[in-house]
Structure 1
Amino acid sequence: MNTKRSQELFAKACRHIPGGVNSPVRACKSVGCDPVFIERAAGSKVYDADGNEYVDFVCSWGPMILGHNHPAVVAAIRETLESGTSFGAPTSKEIELAELVTSALPAVEKVRFVSSGTEATMSAVRLARGFTGRSKVIKFDGCYHGHADSFLIKAGSGVVTLGIPGSPGVPEDIVKNTISIPYNDPATLEKTLRDDKLDIACVIVEPVAGNMGVVAPAPGFLATLRQLTAELGIVLIFDEVITGFRLSLGGAQEYYGVQPDLTCLGKVIGGGLPVGAYGGKKEIMDHIAPDGPVYQAGTLSGNPLAMAAGAATLRELAQPGFYEQLETKAAGFAGELAALADKYLPGQTTLNRVGSMMTTFFTPGPVTDHASATRSDTDRYAAHYRNMRSQGIWLAPAQFEAAFISAAQSEADLALALEKTEWSFKQLAAADK
């Protein structure tokens, strides 16, 4: 596959942009190659600067659940664009999206829009501290909540992918207020939360981890988390930046039947444009300025283009049968993928799937937490990534990420991906001999 133009662009980017990219994992360092530069996308495909076509399983890291350039989303953006791109003032489109979000998520009585998932999680934690008057934040090893200082302790996503220590550049005064404990470990959870000396304001969790690869909550884990935090007056924050409107119209909280106090959203609710949100119980949200003393602001918060794209996306997702069809497609694909792994790489992989997000870990199972996820053979994943990219299949350039199924992927797209996967697994098996 010819990638000459991408190579030229990457060399030029490296002269002007740190690492040549504006988000570290995109540099493809962990998979042993340089990135290709994407020029356009349509439906289930992305196209690079050299004209190569790829079936897309990254989906812009999750938000493109409808596929790229969906007609309803494009029409909403185009109509809004004709009236302007930013006003720094309230617009009716903010209300429209807020109504769609709060009607889909009963735990979200009020919502505040921001411009990124990191802003959403950072603001939610500040709000929880302001509401409770306490200081400590509990998170889980391998869960990634954006790059705010408080969250880079034993984080997932690019931090674990690149092998970066969790807190360079973060003052010790901030580090000491974040405690990271193992995911899916109810005994450690209860012991930590019942420690009166810790002064715990909140627990933040990815209800389905998507940043150490896809790791589902163990049966009863989220319910135990909810019961303990409610009993102890600790604010429970679900980081649904990935799972919100991805697993169901009501997110992971509907999928598992557990309601948090605060919810963080992003990705899907922007329809592919930069957006984030946090929301929850009215009694907590009313502590945000201007109604309350907890300050948070943003010049581009509630940007009309993002609001329009998000509202158009959510209306499409509310169509009857959408998630049932997506589940059928994802389950069938994952089943065939696992069968190929069992045939060519027996005992060497584990496939985790929840809804339309999945990860093939190159390690014997099970993968239930950060420790088991990081036993994966990242060199083996890197070889698989390079194989698949060379054959026109677009995967995340990191073992510890999710692959996403979109509504735009056809049976032919998935069949092609399985065909190329079989070829790659054969190559990997042959390399062992």
Structure 2
Amino acid sequence: MERVTSHPASQGLFDRARQVSPGGVNSPVRAFRAVGGTPIFMRSGSGAWLTDVDGNRYVDLVGSWGPMLLGHAHPEVLAAVAEAVGRGTSFGTPSEPEVLLAEEIVGRTPVESVRLVSSGTEATMSAIRLARGFTGRDKIVKFAGCYHGHVDALLAEAGSGVVTLGLPETPGVPAHVTADTIVLPYNDRAAVEAAFEQYGDQIACLITEAAAGNMGVVPPEPGFNRFLAETCRKHGALFISDEVMTGFRVTRSGHWGLDGEPEGWRPDLLTFGKVMGGGFPAAAFGGRRDVMEQLAPVGPVYQAGTLSGNPIATTAGLTTLRLADTEAYARLDDASAQLQRLVAEALDAAGVTYALQSAGNMFSVFWGVDKPVTDFAGAQAQEAWRYRPFFHAMLDAGVYLPPSAYECWFVSAAHDSEALSRIAEALPAAARAAAQATPEN
């Protein structure tokens, strides 16, 4: 098996980065604090593979945290982007690609109208503002362990980033900003009913990940999202389904295609990101036309963005979505199913207790857990320290995993037999390392 032996160029870049950036990174989980060691600086990606600045090659199971549905550097996406760049990188005016991308999103999802933005955080922040403006109410409901970007009002028990860094609260967020945020246990219908019974006429919206993926993958219990939609409707609140992670990844219609479309319910608002940008900064929020038309310039709720609908990002996203056909999703689902089977077999053989959970083709492992994880408390109870030696054994064998036990594993339509074989070869030793781990090592 090809081994990864050293990272001197990554170490050198990390040393330089720490002199000019907090922690040497531009997003906290990249710093490897949860797993230890030097962050790996990548030079290029192709298909299912990444190559670092030292020339080491890895099977990628991060996928830029979800966007790379087709794999890295897909030739048709690159060609479309190159053509778009040749026409100019930003105009500050409307352009055709943003209309085409909006039409594609409306055609795939239950939204009737959509506004493009530049990040998932911006999408959820704007959806919350719109919900408050539409209802004239202030309170919002979220679930512990669900992450909706680094929006001040939503950084309360927010999942992977805060958990990974061990931060119980986030300094810089005044207490009054989260005073109207009600945090409930995920998958807990009784808690939802109690909150709406007490505050129903004050709640503007309930926001939830369509399937929780930022405390590890914790799927909604059967019928839970429909229950949330019906509860919100009963009390005049808006139901916001956050599909930044699941949108256009688990089906062409996102997670709504798995549980909403078959059951006949629709969220009032949805947020999207990641896949819809094709690897570029792009996101969106959309929903009912009567709600969306409260946005300026039609309505009074203000929202704007200098680079919203950027022609390069929208071209990359549109091309990605057009290539994400039935065959692409079949390859993606098959690769995920094979990988989940390989992981389970290796952990079983090594005697590791675990729960492997999925939402469509997204999945993750909870370590030292002998029953399904249904909420944030269950996710926090895992033996996350077993992940550190597992992660480094996989990294040394040329497999790049998320550098946190609380993150989702992502595959792509480009994960072929060669990539899966590399993972299969690496798993037994990594599983043994996890089995032998102690909290101190």
| TM value normalised by structure 2 | 0.95
1:293 is the counterpart of 2:295: no
Q: 1:275-330, CA deviations, whole angstroms, 9 ceiling, x for partnerless residues?
A: 1100000000000000000000010000000000000000011x233323322221
Q: Does 1:16 align with 2:11?
A: no
Name the counterpart of 1:118: 121
Listed as ranges, the matches of 1:68-79 within 5 Å are: 68-79=72-83
Deviations 1:367-426 (A, max 9, x none): 111001111222211111111111110000001100011001112211221220111112
Q: Quote the offset at 1:27 in angstroms.
A: 0.2
Structure 2, unpaired ranges of 5+: none
SS of the residue corresponding to residue 201 of structure 1 reads strand
2:153 counterpart of 1:147: no
Give the letter aligned to residue 269 of structure 1.
M
- Corresponding residue for 1:352? 357
The answer (yes or no) to whether the contact 2:142–2:206 under 8 Å persists in 1 is yes
* 1:242 maps onto 2:245 in alignment: yes
Match in the other structure for 1:329: 335
Distance change in 2, residues 1:431/1:229 (3 Å): closer
Following the alignment from structure 2 to structure 1, what is the Cα–Cα distance between the partners of residues 169 and 424?
36
Partner of 2:86: 82
**Contact 1:108–1:281, Cα closer than 8 Å, also in 2:** yes
AA aligned opposite 1:252 = H
- Contact 2:243-2:271 within 8 A present in 1 as well: yes
Confirm whether residue 187 of structure 1 aligns to residue 194 of structure 2.
Answer: no
Question: Hey, what's the Cα distance between the residues in 1 that align with 2:44 and 2:318?
Answer: 23
Partner of 1:32: 36
- Aligned-residue identity in percent: 47
Match among 134, 138, 142 for residue 137 of structure 2: 134
| Distance in 2 separating the partners of 1:57 and 1:16 | 28
| Structure-2 separation of matches of 1:145 and 1:416 | 34
Q: Which residue of 1 aligns with 2:387?
A: 381
One-letter code aligned to 2:38: D
Deviation at 1:181, TM superposition (A): 0.4
Q: Secondary structure at the match of 1:305?
A: helix
Distance 1:213 1:190 in 2: 25
Partner of 2:284: 277
Deviation at 1:227, TM superposition (A): 1.2
Corresponding residue SS for 1:113: strand
1:73-108 superposed Cα distances (whole Å, 9 cap, x missing partner): 111110100011001110011100000000001x21
> Does 1:256 find its partner at 2:263?
no
Q: What residue number does 1:362 align with?
A: 367
Letter of the structure 1 residue corresponding to residue 334 of structure 2: T
Check the 8 A contact 2:389/2:433 in 1, yes or no.
no
Misfit runs of 4+, over 4 Å? none
Per the alignment, residue 221 of structure 2 pairs with 218
**Partner SS state of residue 351, structure 1:** strand
Deviation at 1:431, TM superposition (A): 5.0
Please, which of 312, 316, 320 is the counterpart of residue 313 of structure 1? 320
Aligned residue pairs total 429
Deviation at 1:430, TM superposition (A): 4.3
In structure 1, C-alpha distance between the alignment counterparts of 2:331 and 2:23, rounded to whole Å: 40
Shift in alpha-carbon separation, 1:197–1:286, aligned structure 2, 3 A: closer
Are 1:144 and 1:155, in contact at CA under 8 Å, matched by a contact in 2? Answer: yes
Does structure 1 conserve the Cα–Cα contact (< 8 Å) formed by 2:209 and 2:241?
yes
Query: 1:85 touches 1:305 (CA, 8 Å); kept in 2?
Result: yes
* 1:93 alignment partner AA: P
Counterpart of 1:251 in 2: which secondary structure? coil
Offset, 1:198? 6.4
- The answer to whether the 8 Å contact 1:203/1:234 transfers is yes
* Of 319-328 and 391-400, the range deviating more from structure 2: 319-328
| Contiguous gaps of at least 5 residues in structure 1 | none
